[in-house]
Amino acid sequence: MPSFRSNLHSVFRGRQVLITGGLGFIGSNLARRLVRYGSKVTLVDSLIPEYGGNLRNLAGLTGRVHVNISDVRDRHSLPVFVRDQDFLFNLAGQTSHMDSMTDPETDLEINARAQLSILEACRRHNPRIRVVFASTRQLYGRPDALPVSESHPLRPVDVNGINKLAGEHYHLLYHRNYGIRSTILRLTNTIGPRMRIKDARQTFVGVWIRAVLEGKPFDVWGGEQRRDFTFVDDCVDAMLLAAARGEAEGGVFNLGGPPPVTLKELAELLIACNGGGEYCVKAFPAERRKIDIGDFYADWNLIRSTLGWRPQTSLKSALSRTLDFYRKELPHYV
Protein backbone atom coordinates (compact mmCIF):
# COMPACT_ATOMS: atom_id res chain seq x y z
CA MET A 1 0.00 0.00 0.00
CA PRO A 2 1.44 3.43 -0.87
CA SER A 3 2.44 5.41 2.22
CA PHE A 4 0.26 8.40 1.35
CA ARG A 5 -2.92 6.39 1.96
CA SER A 6 -2.24 6.17 5.69
CA ASN A 7 -1.84 9.95 5.83
CA LEU A 8 -5.19 10.47 4.10
CA HIS A 9 -7.03 8.81 6.98
CA SER A 10 -6.37 11.77 9.23
CA VAL A 11 -7.36 14.32 6.58
CA PHE A 12 -10.82 12.86 5.93
CA ARG A 13 -11.74 11.35 9.29
CA GLY A 14 -14.93 12.97 10.55
CA ARG A 15 -15.16 15.39 7.62
CA GLN A 16 -18.30 16.13 5.62
CA VAL A 17 -17.91 14.99 2.00
CA LEU A 18 -20.31 15.46 -0.91
CA ILE A 19 -19.98 13.38 -4.09
CA THR A 20 -22.07 14.33 -7.12
CA GLY A 21 -22.57 11.35 -9.38
CA GLY A 22 -22.02 9.33 -6.22
CA LEU A 23 -23.90 6.22 -7.32
CA GLY A 24 -21.77 5.88 -10.43
CA PHE A 25 -18.62 3.90 -11.07
CA ILE A 26 -15.92 6.19 -9.71
CA GLY A 27 -18.15 7.96 -7.20
CA SER A 28 -19.19 4.76 -5.45
CA ASN A 29 -15.61 3.48 -5.23
CA LEU A 30 -14.58 6.85 -3.81
CA ALA A 31 -17.44 6.68 -1.29
CA ARG A 32 -16.29 3.26 -0.09
CA ARG A 33 -12.80 4.55 0.60
CA LEU A 34 -14.10 7.63 2.41
CA VAL A 35 -16.36 5.51 4.60
CA ARG A 36 -13.31 3.44 5.58
CA TYR A 37 -11.54 6.69 6.44
CA GLY A 38 -14.39 7.73 8.72
CA SER A 39 -15.89 10.51 6.58
CA LYS A 40 -19.54 11.54 6.69
CA VAL A 41 -20.46 10.94 3.07
CA THR A 42 -23.40 12.36 1.11
CA LEU A 43 -24.09 11.09 -2.40
CA VAL A 44 -26.13 12.96 -5.00
CA ASP A 45 -27.15 11.09 -8.13
CA SER A 46 -30.02 11.37 -10.61
CA LEU A 47 -30.12 7.59 -11.27
CA ILE A 48 -31.05 8.37 -14.88
CA PRO A 49 -30.48 4.97 -16.54
CA GLU A 50 -28.19 6.27 -19.28
CA TYR A 51 -25.72 7.90 -16.89
CA GLY A 52 -24.29 4.99 -14.91
CA GLY A 53 -25.73 5.30 -11.40
CA ASN A 54 -26.59 1.93 -9.88
CA LEU A 55 -27.89 1.29 -6.36
CA ARG A 56 -26.01 -2.02 -6.39
CA ASN A 57 -22.83 0.06 -6.21
CA LEU A 58 -23.72 0.74 -2.56
CA ALA A 59 -23.96 -2.94 -1.57
CA GLY A 60 -22.60 -3.21 1.97
CA LEU A 61 -22.83 0.52 2.63
CA THR A 62 -26.45 0.66 3.79
CA GLY A 63 -26.77 3.16 6.61
CA ARG A 64 -23.18 4.33 6.22
CA VAL A 65 -23.76 6.99 3.54
CA HIS A 66 -26.55 9.48 2.98
CA VAL A 67 -28.14 9.27 -0.49
CA ASN A 68 -30.07 11.99 -2.31
CA ILE A 69 -31.71 11.06 -5.60
CA SER A 70 -31.48 14.43 -7.30
CA ASP A 71 -30.32 15.92 -10.58
CA VAL A 72 -27.52 18.49 -10.58
CA ARG A 73 -29.51 20.36 -13.20
CA ASP A 74 -31.96 21.24 -10.42
CA ARG A 75 -30.10 24.33 -9.24
CA HIS A 76 -32.66 25.04 -6.50
CA SER A 77 -31.60 21.94 -4.54
CA LEU A 78 -27.86 22.60 -4.77
CA PRO A 79 -27.54 25.06 -1.85
CA VAL A 80 -28.91 22.41 0.53
CA PHE A 81 -26.35 19.89 -0.66
CA VAL A 82 -23.22 22.06 -0.57
CA ARG A 83 -23.93 23.87 2.70
CA ASP A 84 -21.65 22.71 5.57
CA GLN A 85 -19.64 20.30 3.39
CA ASP A 86 -15.85 20.25 3.74
CA PHE A 87 -15.16 18.57 0.39
CA LEU A 88 -16.98 18.26 -2.92
CA PHE A 89 -15.95 15.64 -5.44
CA ASN A 90 -17.76 16.85 -8.53
CA LEU A 91 -18.13 13.71 -10.65
CA ALA A 92 -21.62 14.17 -12.10
CA GLY A 93 -21.50 14.25 -15.87
CA GLN A 94 -22.65 12.89 -19.18
CA THR A 95 -19.74 10.73 -20.37
CA SER A 96 -20.84 9.33 -23.72
CA HIS A 97 -19.11 10.97 -26.66
CA MET A 98 -21.66 9.62 -29.14
CA ASP A 99 -24.60 10.75 -27.00
CA SER A 100 -23.11 14.23 -26.92
CA MET A 101 -23.20 14.32 -30.72
CA THR A 102 -26.77 13.03 -31.04
CA ASP A 103 -28.15 15.02 -28.07
CA PRO A 104 -25.85 18.02 -27.62
CA GLU A 105 -28.37 20.08 -25.63
CA THR A 106 -28.51 17.55 -22.80
CA ASP A 107 -24.72 17.33 -22.74
CA LEU A 108 -24.58 21.13 -22.50
CA GLU A 109 -27.04 21.17 -19.58
CA ILE A 110 -25.16 18.56 -17.55
CA ASN A 111 -21.51 19.18 -18.38
CA ALA A 112 -21.54 22.98 -18.61
CA ARG A 113 -24.64 24.75 -17.29
CA ALA A 114 -25.03 22.50 -14.22
CA GLN A 115 -21.35 22.98 -13.38
CA LEU A 116 -21.85 26.72 -13.26
CA SER A 117 -24.86 26.22 -10.97
CA ILE A 118 -22.84 24.01 -8.62
CA LEU A 119 -20.09 26.59 -8.35
CA GLU A 120 -22.59 29.40 -7.78
CA ALA A 121 -24.09 27.39 -4.93
CA CYS A 122 -20.60 26.99 -3.47
CA ARG A 123 -19.83 30.71 -3.86
CA ARG A 124 -23.04 31.80 -2.19
CA HIS A 125 -23.44 29.15 0.50
CA ASN A 126 -20.04 27.55 1.21
CA PRO A 127 -17.10 29.45 -0.26
CA ARG A 128 -14.53 27.52 1.83
CA ILE A 129 -15.46 24.13 0.37
CA ARG A 130 -12.66 22.17 -1.31
CA VAL A 131 -13.59 20.99 -4.84
CA VAL A 132 -12.15 18.30 -7.11
CA PHE A 133 -13.60 18.23 -10.63
CA ALA A 134 -13.40 15.12 -12.84
CA SER A 135 -12.50 16.16 -16.38
CA THR A 136 -11.36 14.11 -19.37
CA ARG A 137 -8.47 13.48 -21.76
CA GLN A 138 -10.97 14.11 -24.57
CA LEU A 139 -10.22 17.83 -24.25
CA TYR A 140 -6.91 17.36 -26.03
CA GLY A 141 -8.37 15.94 -29.22
CA ARG A 142 -5.95 14.24 -31.59
CA PRO A 143 -2.46 14.43 -30.06
CA ASP A 144 0.37 16.34 -31.69
CA ALA A 145 2.90 14.22 -29.77
CA LEU A 146 2.91 11.44 -27.20
CA PRO A 147 2.68 11.19 -24.26
CA VAL A 148 0.28 14.13 -23.88
CA SER A 149 1.12 16.65 -21.16
CA GLU A 150 -1.09 19.35 -19.64
CA SER A 151 0.57 21.94 -21.92
CA HIS A 152 -0.78 20.28 -25.08
CA PRO A 153 -3.27 22.43 -27.04
CA LEU A 154 -6.92 21.81 -26.21
CA ARG A 155 -8.87 20.83 -29.33
CA PRO A 156 -11.94 18.75 -28.46
CA VAL A 157 -13.32 16.67 -31.31
CA ASP A 158 -16.85 16.29 -29.96
CA VAL A 159 -19.54 18.19 -28.05
CA ASN A 160 -18.72 16.33 -24.84
CA GLY A 161 -15.14 17.58 -24.90
CA ILE A 162 -16.20 21.18 -25.53
CA ASN A 163 -18.67 21.15 -22.64
CA LYS A 164 -16.21 19.47 -20.27
CA LEU A 165 -13.69 22.15 -21.20
CA ALA A 166 -16.25 24.79 -20.27
CA GLY A 167 -16.78 23.00 -16.95
CA GLU A 168 -13.04 23.11 -16.32
CA HIS A 169 -12.84 26.81 -17.04
CA TYR A 170 -15.76 27.56 -14.72
CA HIS A 171 -13.92 25.80 -11.88
CA LEU A 172 -10.67 27.61 -12.58
CA LEU A 173 -12.43 30.98 -12.92
CA TYR A 174 -14.24 30.55 -9.61
CA HIS A 175 -10.94 29.57 -8.02
CA ARG A 176 -9.21 32.71 -9.28
CA ASN A 177 -12.03 35.19 -8.79
CA TYR A 178 -13.93 33.87 -5.77
CA GLY A 179 -11.43 31.69 -3.93
CA ILE A 180 -13.34 28.43 -4.51
CA ARG A 181 -10.43 26.03 -4.01
CA SER A 182 -10.70 23.79 -7.05
CA THR A 183 -8.51 21.16 -8.69
CA ILE A 184 -9.02 19.61 -12.14
CA LEU A 185 -8.15 15.97 -12.85
CA ARG A 186 -8.15 14.91 -16.51
CA LEU A 187 -9.05 11.25 -16.46
CA THR A 188 -8.06 8.74 -19.10
CA ASN A 189 -9.74 5.31 -19.49
CA THR A 190 -10.70 4.33 -15.93
CA ILE A 191 -11.56 0.67 -15.37
CA GLY A 192 -12.47 -1.53 -12.43
CA PRO A 193 -15.30 -2.95 -10.32
CA ARG A 194 -18.67 -1.16 -10.65
CA MET A 195 -17.89 0.25 -14.10
CA ARG A 196 -20.76 0.34 -16.57
CA ILE A 197 -20.72 -2.82 -18.67
CA LYS A 198 -24.19 -2.90 -20.22
CA ASP A 199 -23.09 -0.57 -23.04
CA ALA A 200 -20.16 1.60 -24.13
CA ARG A 201 -21.43 4.88 -22.66
CA GLN A 202 -18.53 5.00 -20.18
CA THR A 203 -15.88 2.84 -21.81
CA PHE A 204 -15.67 0.14 -24.46
CA VAL A 205 -13.79 -2.08 -21.99
CA GLY A 206 -17.01 -2.70 -20.09
CA VAL A 207 -18.65 -4.16 -23.19
CA TRP A 208 -15.64 -6.42 -23.72
CA ILE A 209 -15.76 -7.66 -20.13
CA ARG A 210 -19.44 -8.46 -20.35
CA ALA A 211 -18.88 -10.34 -23.61
CA VAL A 212 -16.06 -12.58 -22.37
CA LEU A 213 -17.97 -13.42 -19.19
CA GLU A 214 -21.05 -14.34 -21.24
CA GLY A 215 -18.95 -16.42 -23.62
CA LYS A 216 -19.56 -14.13 -26.59
CA PRO A 217 -17.07 -12.63 -29.07
CA PHE A 218 -16.48 -8.88 -28.95
CA ASP A 219 -15.52 -6.36 -31.62
CA VAL A 220 -12.22 -4.48 -31.63
CA TRP A 221 -12.43 -1.41 -33.85
CA GLY A 222 -9.17 -0.72 -35.63
CA GLY A 223 -6.99 -2.44 -33.09
CA GLU A 224 -3.68 -0.63 -33.51
CA GLN A 225 -4.64 2.47 -31.49
CA ARG A 226 -2.62 2.78 -28.29
CA ARG A 227 -4.33 3.66 -25.01
CA ASP A 228 -3.50 3.90 -21.32
CA PHE A 229 -5.79 2.74 -18.51
CA THR A 230 -6.17 3.78 -14.87
CA PHE A 231 -7.47 1.31 -12.30
CA VAL A 232 -10.26 2.85 -10.24
CA ASP A 233 -8.40 2.50 -6.91
CA ASP A 234 -5.53 4.53 -8.37
CA CYS A 235 -8.01 7.13 -9.62
CA VAL A 236 -9.50 7.37 -6.11
CA ASP A 237 -6.00 7.85 -4.69
CA ALA A 238 -5.46 10.80 -7.04
CA MET A 239 -8.78 12.41 -6.13
CA LEU A 240 -8.14 12.16 -2.41
CA LEU A 241 -4.60 13.48 -2.75
CA ALA A 242 -5.81 16.38 -4.87
CA ALA A 243 -8.39 17.28 -2.23
CA ALA A 244 -6.01 16.91 0.68
CA ARG A 245 -2.98 18.81 -0.59
CA GLY A 246 -2.82 22.58 -0.82
CA GLU A 247 -0.32 22.38 -3.67
CA ALA A 248 -3.10 21.05 -5.90
CA GLU A 249 -5.39 24.06 -5.54
CA GLY A 250 -5.94 25.77 -8.86
CA GLY A 251 -4.07 23.00 -10.65
CA VAL A 252 -4.85 20.84 -13.68
CA PHE A 253 -3.42 17.32 -13.67
CA ASN A 254 -3.46 14.38 -16.05
CA LEU A 255 -4.02 10.88 -14.74
CA GLY A 256 -2.62 7.88 -16.55
CA GLY A 257 -1.69 4.28 -16.00
CA PRO A 258 0.83 1.57 -16.74
CA PRO A 259 2.58 1.58 -20.15
CA PRO A 260 0.10 1.97 -23.03
CA VAL A 261 -1.03 -0.99 -25.11
CA THR A 262 -2.71 -1.36 -28.47
CA LEU A 263 -6.37 -2.32 -28.41
CA LYS A 264 -5.48 -5.73 -29.86
CA GLU A 265 -2.93 -6.23 -27.06
CA LEU A 266 -5.60 -5.23 -24.55
CA ALA A 267 -8.04 -7.73 -26.06
CA GLU A 268 -5.45 -10.52 -25.88
CA LEU A 269 -4.62 -9.68 -22.27
CA LEU A 270 -8.30 -9.63 -21.29
CA ILE A 271 -8.83 -13.06 -22.85
CA ALA A 272 -5.74 -14.42 -21.09
CA CYS A 273 -6.92 -13.05 -17.73
CA ASN A 274 -10.35 -14.59 -18.30
CA GLY A 275 -8.96 -17.93 -19.38
CA GLY A 276 -10.80 -17.78 -22.69
CA GLY A 277 -12.72 -15.65 -25.14
CA GLU A 278 -12.51 -14.37 -28.68
CA TYR A 279 -12.66 -11.10 -30.57
CA CYS A 280 -13.00 -9.83 -34.12
CA VAL A 281 -11.13 -6.84 -35.53
CA LYS A 282 -13.42 -4.53 -37.49
CA ALA A 283 -13.13 -1.17 -39.21
CA PHE A 284 -14.29 1.86 -37.25
CA PRO A 285 -17.94 2.77 -37.86
CA ALA A 286 -18.04 5.98 -39.88
CA GLU A 287 -19.83 8.03 -37.21
CA ARG A 288 -17.25 7.09 -34.59
CA ARG A 289 -14.24 7.59 -36.82
CA LYS A 290 -15.14 11.28 -37.02
CA ILE A 291 -14.53 11.71 -33.28
CA ASP A 292 -11.79 9.11 -32.76
CA ILE A 293 -8.56 10.64 -31.45
CA GLY A 294 -6.18 7.90 -32.59
CA ASP A 295 -3.31 7.00 -30.26
CA PHE A 296 -3.51 8.56 -26.82
CA TYR A 297 -1.64 8.11 -23.59
CA ALA A 298 -1.03 10.72 -20.93
CA ASP A 299 2.07 12.23 -19.40
CA TRP A 300 1.30 12.16 -15.65
CA ASN A 301 4.64 13.50 -14.43
CA LEU A 302 3.07 16.71 -13.11
CA ILE A 303 0.83 14.97 -10.57
CA ARG A 304 3.72 12.67 -9.65
CA SER A 305 6.10 15.55 -8.97
CA THR A 306 3.49 17.74 -7.24
CA LEU A 307 1.52 15.22 -5.17
CA GLY A 308 3.57 12.02 -5.27
CA TRP A 309 0.86 10.10 -7.10
CA ARG A 310 1.66 7.23 -9.38
CA PRO A 311 -0.46 4.29 -10.59
CA GLN A 312 -0.03 1.27 -8.33
CA THR A 313 -1.95 -1.34 -10.33
CA SER A 314 -0.71 -3.20 -13.41
CA LEU A 315 -3.09 -3.57 -16.33
CA LYS A 316 -3.14 -7.35 -15.85
CA SER A 317 -4.11 -6.96 -12.20
CA ALA A 318 -6.74 -4.33 -13.06
CA LEU A 319 -8.40 -6.61 -15.60
CA SER A 320 -8.21 -9.67 -13.34
CA ARG A 321 -9.73 -7.85 -10.38
CA THR A 322 -12.49 -6.45 -12.56
CA LEU A 323 -13.31 -9.86 -14.00
CA ASP A 324 -13.38 -11.37 -10.50
CA PHE A 325 -15.90 -8.75 -9.40
CA TYR A 326 -18.25 -9.31 -12.33
CA ARG A 327 -18.14 -13.09 -12.13
CA LYS A 328 -20.05 -12.63 -8.87
CA GLU A 329 -22.01 -9.46 -9.72
CA LEU A 330 -22.83 -9.73 -13.42
CA PRO A 331 -26.65 -10.02 -13.06
CA HIS A 332 -26.77 -6.69 -11.20
CA TYR A 333 -24.98 -4.78 -13.98
CA VAL A 334 -26.49 -6.04 -17.26
Query: SS in 3 state form for 96-126?
Result: CHHHHHHCHHHHHHHHHHHHHHHHHHHHHHC
The percent of residues above 90 in pLDDT, for the chain, comes to 78
**Cα–Cα distance between 48 and 6 in angstroms, integer?**
35
Run of H or E residues at 166? helix 159-178
Whether the per-residue pLDDT at 289 is higher than 70: the answer is no
How many distinct structural domains can be found in the chain? 1
Whether the per-residue pLDDT at 200 is higher than 90: the answer is no
**Cα–Cα distance between 294 and 281 in angstroms, integer?**
16
Here the CATH number for the domain that contains residue 8 is 3.40.50.720
The reply to whether 282 falls in a domain is no
The reply to whether 207 falls in a domain is no
- The pLDDT mean for the chain works out to 93
The reply to whether 271 falls in a domain is no
The reply to whether 274 falls in a domain is no
Q: Which pLDDT belongs to residue 236?
A: 98
The reply to whether 266 falls in a domain is no
Burial class (CB in 10 A: 0-12, 13-18, 19+), 63: exposed
Whether the per-residue pLDDT at 1 is higher than 60: the answer is no
The reply to whether 278 falls in a domain is no
Report how far apart, in Å, the C-alpha atoms of 123 and of each of 42, 79, 281, 297 are: 19, 10, 50, 35
The mean-pLDDT minimum among 21-30, 195-204, 205-214 falls in 195-204
pLDDT interval class at 4 (50, 70, 90): low
The edge-to-edge listing of strands for the beta sheet with 16-20 is: 66-69, 40-45, 16-20, 87-90, 130-136, 181-187, 252-254
**Cα–Cα distance between 194 and 189 in angstroms, integer?**
14
The mean-pLDDT minimum among 32-36, 240-244, 282-286 falls in 282-286
The reply to whether 64 falls in a domain is yes
Burial class (CB in 10 A: 0-12, 13-18, 19+), 111: buried
CB 62 within 8 A of CB 43: no
**Cα–Cα distance between 164 and 141 in angstroms, integer?**
12
Which of the pair, 222 or 227, is modelled with greater confidence? 227
Q: Which pLDDT belongs to residue 53?
A: 83
Convert the pLDDT of each residue in 41-86 to its tens digit: 999 998 877 777 899 999 999 899 999 988 788 888 898 999 999 9
Whether the per-residue pLDDT at 316 is higher than 60: the answer is yes
CB 115 within 8 A of CB 167: yes
The reply to whether 289 falls in a domain is no
Q: Helix, strand, or coil here: 157?
A: coil
**Cα–Cα distance between 328 and 306 in angstroms, integer?**
38
Residues in Cβ contact with 199 at an 8 Å cutoff, skipping those fewer than 6 apart: 206, 207
* Domain range enclosing 29: 3-191+230-256+297-312
Q: Which pLDDT belongs to residue 2?
A: 64
Largest CA distance in the chain: 55
Q: Helix, strand, or coil here: 172?
A: helix
Q: Which pLDDT belongs to residue 11?
A: 96
Radius of gyration of the chain (CA): 19
